[in-house]
Chains A and B, each alone.
Chain A
Amino acid sequence: MVDLSKLPLNAGLGLKPEHYDDALACSKDGLWFEIHPENYMVAGGPRLTWLQAFCDKFPMSFHGVGLSLGGLDRPDKEHLKRLKYLIDRFSPTQVSEHFAWSKHDNIYFADLLPPPINEASLNRIVAHIEETQEYLGRTILIENPSLYLPVAGFEELPHIYVEAAKRSGAGLLFDLNNIAVCAANVDLPYQSWLDVVPGDIVGEVHLAGSSSRTIKQEVVLIDSHDAPISELVWQIFEKFIDKNGVKPVLIERDDNIPTFDELLAERDHAAELMREFSQKATDV
């Protein structure tokens, strides 16, 4: 019997509709799945039927992209209501959101934008996280953003990200591809994140691929989730588990989606690294 009350210390996969049949039939030990709840905010129909089937069988993480916690405005009441409905109905093992904004002046930007890096912004984000947690009746994890723009004070981003979690009582969803993207785009070394992020409040780790886009003759690394995980991100992952031990790890893929078996192979690689580390730790 699979324990649905917590994410296993193992590797999971982002669930895509293209993979529903294969994924539901998969019986890999320790496998879990993550969805974006926004894709399931519908009145009824097959999407919710599938979601129920997965929630009955696997530990599930609901990873939101639309609350705009880093925005100027308070979290949208209607969005919170729809999220709470899904959480109450499907009882996911874990819920997470982003340290970023995606909505302003009633326009949704379908992107995860960096908030201002200062005390006023930190206070506002903490208030938004607290309001969300209070409304949902549970704590959430917060994911660190990618940076393409060197917004003022970006060097302090790891600190205020961690501080927001500590003050609000939220946990961290630590995305290692995002720190590789920050390193490439704004010279924020990934080590500065690894030094600051406390492993004990990390509830989940994300691994994903990125792609390069040339903008005015400059190569910008985009957090596109459309490619296999890069060698650099695998190296950062090993450093992370070496320092903090194993955590539930998710392989994200949102575009240019390969077969389920290809994604599963990437997931198995992460699971194998985690097993090797755990074995080493036991031997010591």
Chain B
Amino acid sequence: MSDEQKFYEIISKSILGADHSKLGDLIGDDYVHRIEAHRGNYKMSTQSAIISAYPIVAKLVGDEYISRVAQKFVEEFPPKAATLTQYGDEFPEFLRKFPPVQKDLPWLSAVAELDRAWFYAYSAKDEISLRAETLQGKAALALPMLAPGLNPSVNLLRFTVPAYSIWRTNKQDVEVKPVNLKSGAEWAVVWRNNNQVHHQSVSQAEYVFLTDIEGDLSFANAYAEAVKYDQKFDLQQQFSHWLSVGLFKGASNAQIDK
């Protein structure tokens, strides 16, 4: 290893706390403690990035707990890119496997998924959604065969715990409402329309319907799957609602005519 390589290796390892035994060779033994300035910057920036990216998780567990968990996460998944606003994709999965969380807060990783979905929706590619005006004058018979896909900002989520209820009340209610942790599975959709992030709870049939649309199935085929979960599933009502809130990807006249 060249002297140049050693310089970067020694400082890097000293910041990460792995090994600062050779730092004295670079800066003199009397100054080794100064590495704490850089170590502190690294720790503060990375932990702040996680706390900012997961605001409801942070709110639920408090400052001290989130700082400790974030520190453990950073140790296991140090950032690889300078885009810290996007750092922390692995955090929900990390929480799911983190023993203290697994034991005491088994729903926390699902709440983290919702925080992440909010960010994905917020920062997703700008794309025009399918609008009712585009469909005017088209043959009614053609619409069931349309397979528009979903707007890139749409995130579909399913949970075995009432994670959406926990997340929603902590995000938007002035007074947080109690949630029965035994109330069972939930499904949710988080998306952006007109530059604002929206979210709502959906039924299992709606989740299946939207997942199939996302998988480029036609409305007719997605309906055929959804109705297996809810015999009263109303395609017309579903189509109108999701169309009005900008969930479907914009289709051109040519695509619709085809």
Contact = CB atoms under 8 A, between A and B. Distances in A.
A220 B11 contact: no
Given A66-B81, A105-B12, A46 B122 contact: yes
Interface stretch (A5-13, A108-116, A229-237): A108-116
Contact of B83 (A41, A72, A105, A107): A41
A104 B31 contact: no
A28 interface: no
B34 A42 contact: no
B136 interface: no
B83 A116 contact: no
A113 B83 contact: no
B235 interface: no
Given A44-B123, A150-B31, A151-B26, A109 B15 contact: yes
Interface string B29-55: 001011111101110011001000000
A128 to B, nearest CB: 14
Contact of A111 (B4, B26, B38): B38
B37 A213 contact: yes
A79 B16 contact: no
Interface string B193-223: 0010000000000000000000000000000
A110 B84 contact: yes
B34 A43 contact: no
Contacts, number: 133
Contacts of A116: 3-4, 7
A67 B123 CA distance: 22
B34 A215 contact: yes
A71 B42 contact: no
B17 interface: no
A49 B16 CA distance: 37
A218 B12 contact: no
Given A45-B124, A66-B81, A105-B12, A149 B192 contact: no
Given A38-B85, A149-B27, A43 B12 contact: no
A58 interface: no
A101 B123 contact: no
Contacts of A38: 82-85
A65 interface: yes
Contacts of B125: 43-44
Contact of A72 (B4, B78, B127): B4
A47 interface: yes
A124 B3 CA distance: 14
B258 interface: no
Interface in A88-117: 101-111, 113, 116
Nearest to B81: A108
Interface string A101-140: 1111111111101001000110010000000000000000
B80 interface: yes
A46 B195 contact: yes
Interface in A42-82: 42-49, 65-68, 71-72, 76, 78-79, 82
A181 to B, nearest CB: 10
A109 B4 contact: no
B16 A107 contact: yes
Contact of A66 (B11, B27, B40, B83): B83
Contacts of B42: 109-111
B28 interface: yes
B38 A109 contact: yes
Contacts of B46: 110
| Most A Cβ at <10 Å: residue of B49, B84, B125, B152 | B84
Nearest to B27: A149
A104 B18 CA distance: 14
A152 interface: yes
A222 B124 contact: no
Contacts of B16: 107
Nearest to A43: B125
B37 A71 contact: no
Interface of A: 38-39, 41-49, 65-68, 71-72, 76, 78-79, 82, 101-111, 113, 116, 120-121, 124, 148-152, 185, 213, 215-216, 218, 220, 222
Given A38-B84, A148-B38, 16 more contacts: A42-B86, A44-B127, A46-B122, A46-B195, A78-B81, A79-B81, A101-B8, A103-B82, A106-B80, A108-B78, A124-B4, A149-B11, A149-B37, A150-B31, A151-B26, A215-B36
Ranked 10 nearest A-B pairs via Cβ: A66-B82, A110-B45, A44-B126, A42-B123, A148-B37, A43-B125, A216-B33, A111-B41, A108-B79, A44-B125
